[in-house]
Amino acid sequence: MTPHDELERRYRRLMTAYPRRHRQEYEEEMVAVLLAAAEPGARRPGLRDRADLLVNALAVRLRGWGTALGDDAWRRAAFVVQLVGSLFLLGVGLRRLPLSVAPYLAGGADAVDVARPAVWAIGFAVALAGLRRVAAGVAAAGAIVETVHVARWYDYSPSQVLRSSWLVTVALLVAAGSVWLAGGARVTVPRGLWWFAAALLAAVGGRVADDRQWQFRGLDVAIFYDGRFVFRVGAPFYLTAAGLALWAWWRLGGPVRRRVLALAAPVAAIAAMVAYGFAGFMYSSQRFPSPVLLVPVQWAVLLATPPVAFVLAAALLNRWERLSALVRLGRQAEDASA
């Protein structure tokens, strides 16, 4: 193999970092320019050429992803996450808030406990009213409040911080979606939103029933207690909530449904990472006299999990929709020729 052929082969290998459409349109021209500018007899691309190609490939992919994420279906899905996430966080905040002023005055709750439901109630109201920039600011404040609420446990219970990391991820997801929606065209209120609200109310009813029926804290539906079977009163509430949420999600339509799942991927990923990736840490941290804190590598894994999960979910969704579109075109061509 001549030096020229080897250099061309290496340049083409680097070109695989670009999207396929970009390669089909520009690869021959780019390789020709690179070969013409190369040193005579060179067999390998220079470090500068490699860096330029890879950085430009990343820029091209980011521009493509940015264009894809700007379509109407993504914005509608982000609006669903913004509204439903605010409602959910409002419900979680209300569950911890005392129902009377007396416990607050006695130290049963603090300013953060009061601020949590307040900020998400305001955020939901202004988002529903279409005040997008105000909603973005309120959601960002809500994410800060949720982070402070969880972070204050770290010094004495890092395992509790890990268990609540999914809640912070929800808040950050709502804040990110709100900031993104602040620019661009306005999005109409999605169909089925009030079914999500009904699902949340049913879930709250189940939690109230669990609080009164203190024996149940896990996934048990019935237990044998005091010589008899006791059935979980909250179970029908939770089943109703799941059914209502599933129905509301289904009513959103295919493109929005899929994007809501992609936007929810960071929450599922962080929950799975804590449950399985940090299981040993949580077990050991709870049994030492003084808490075992996270090391920088563990923090890096924890912080990287949500964005990586979203990028992978969005890439898989984009690939699946492209393949589905090609399959539809092929079937239409077959039907036309038949």
The total of other beta-carbon atoms located within 10 Å of residue 170's CB is 23
Q: Are 86 and 123 in contact (CB under 8 A)?
A: yes
The residue from 41, 64, 87 where one domain ends is 64
In this structure, the answer to whether residues 15 and 133 fall within a common structural domain is no
Kindly report the CA angle at 125 between 115 and 263, in degrees rounded to 5? 85
Residue type at 204?
V
Tokens of 72: 């109407």
Both 157 and 263 in a single domain? yes
Residues 120 and 31 occupy one common structural domain: no
Task: Answer yes or no: do 18 and 118 share one domain.
Answer: no
Q: What is the per-residue DSSP string for 214-273?
A: TT--SS-SEEEETTEEEE-TTHHHHHHHHHHHHHHHHTT-HHHHHHHHHHHHHHHHHHHI
| CA terminus-to-terminus distance, the chain | 49
Residue 274 shares a structural domain with residue 321: yes
Whether residue 161 sits in one domain with residue 283? yes
Domain that holds residue 130: 70-190+252-337
Are 164 and 256 contained in the same domain?
yes
pLDDT in tens, the chain (338 residues): 677 778 888 888 888 888 877 787 878 888 888 877 777 777 778 788 788 888 888 777 766 665 556 678 898 999 999 999 999 999 888 876 654 344 444 445 678 888 899 999 999 999 988 899 999 999 999 999 999 999 988 888 888 889 899 999 999 999 999 998 988 778 877 777 788 889 888 888 887 777 777 766 666 666 666 666 777 777 888 889 999 999 999 988 888 999 999 999 999 999 999 989 888 887 777 677 777 788 899 999 999 999 999 989 988 998 888 888 878 877 777 777 76
Answer for the pair 14, 45: CB distance below 8 angstroms, yes or no: yes
81 shares a domain with 14:
no
* Residue 240 forms part of a structural domain: no
Q: In this predicted structure, what is the pLDDT of residue 105?
A: 41
Report pLDDT for 192: 74
Q: Are residues 118 and 59 in the same domain?
A: no
Residue 218 within any structural domain of the chain: no
- Under 8 Å between Cβ of 127 and 135: yes
Placement of tokens 């690179």 in the chain: 34
What distance in Å separates the CA atoms of residue 112 and residue 93, rounded to the nearest whole number? 10
Confirm whether 15 is domain-assigned. yes
Q: Are residues 57 and 80 in the same domain?
A: no
List the beta bridge partners of residue 229. Answer: 224
166 and 86: one domain?
yes
Q: Please check whether residues 129 and 21 belong to one and the same domain.
A: no
Q: Which residues contact 30 (CB under 8 A, 6 or more apart)?
A: 15
Side-chain-side CA neighbours of residue 215 (13 Å) = 13
What are φ and ψ of residue 229, in 5° steps? -80, 135
Categorise residue 226: left if φ over 0, alpha if ψ from -120 to 50, beta otherwise: left
Domains contained in the chain, number: 2
Residue 297 lies in a domain: yes
